[in-house]
Amino acid sequence: MNSGGKNLILNSWTLDINIVHHAQKMHDLTSQLKKDGRSIGFVPTMGALHAGHISLIEKAKAENDIVICSIFVNPTQFNDLKDLENYPRMPEADIAFLKSAGCNLVFLPTPAEIYPNGPELLDISFGFMEETMEGAFRPGHFKGVATVVNRLFEIVQPTNSYFGEKDFQQLAIIRKMVALLNHSTNIIGCPTLRESDGLAMSSRNMLLTAEQRKSAPLIYKAMETAKEFIPHQSPAAVIELVKRYIQKSSYLSVQYFQLVNPDTLEDIKNWEEGKPVQGCIAVLTEGPRLIDNIRYE
């Protein structure tokens, strides 16, 4: 591609958003961009975008020449087909959202483009990291996540890839996958964005009833309140305090709350001075399942 063609494409990307549906076309575009010395910031999503996603786009935009966002509801990471069917899909609104945020290119593939030979899971083991917390209640979930993220990395070839810290275990798994498979992209975790009442922003929040939504901020409030008891109470006692606090609401039920090593995800039995601890939680409602986490220094 000559420089005139390159500038024409880049100028058009600054004026409007480009949508690509085919994996090969996306791979060809990013290959050319990399040959031209352009850095690529990548934000993989499942759509139903909110301000948390846009914060990832904005960070990617600040640190890269070109920003690409994928929208793909990945079937291999859902244990419950009903959950897959109910997952919110709003591509037109998402594209408008991304355009306003300054995203250059949207990758909007079909399952056949991502899995041309069928959804065969990546043959890789994360050991304990995929068996604890989310893995204990959603067996195979992280294999599905790793499979799709690996495939997207192969297609998009990003310089830097951005993930929200709200899905803390997922972020740890992706970092591990990148190390095991020697992907060249840099994994950048971005802070969880929250509503004014503390609820972590999530695509699933729109599925909450009014009563559930009113109770949901108890999740973060409980984890924040736990700071008052660290290190005066044992980890086990703090876990029970958080659970009881949340379950004051009849609309919420704690599936798990664990205090773990941020790197290995192993449970913390005792506090150690100077070592951070990650509190990770999943809460059930009669509708969507909510997850969140907090860092205790």
Active site residues: 53
- Kindly report whether the peptide bond that precedes residue 119 is cis, defined as omega within 30 degrees of 0: no
Q: Which of 29, 49, 64 is nearest to 157 (CA)?
A: 29
Q: Please list the alpha-helical segments (H only) found in 216-291.
A: 218-225, 235-246
Distance of CA 240 to the CA centre of its chain: 27
Q: What angle do CA 233, 225, 230 make, to 5 degrees?
A: 25
Q: Report which secondary-structure segment, H or E, holds 18.
A: strand 18-20
What is each CA distance from 131 to 91, 127, 136, in whole angstroms? Answer: 33, 7, 5
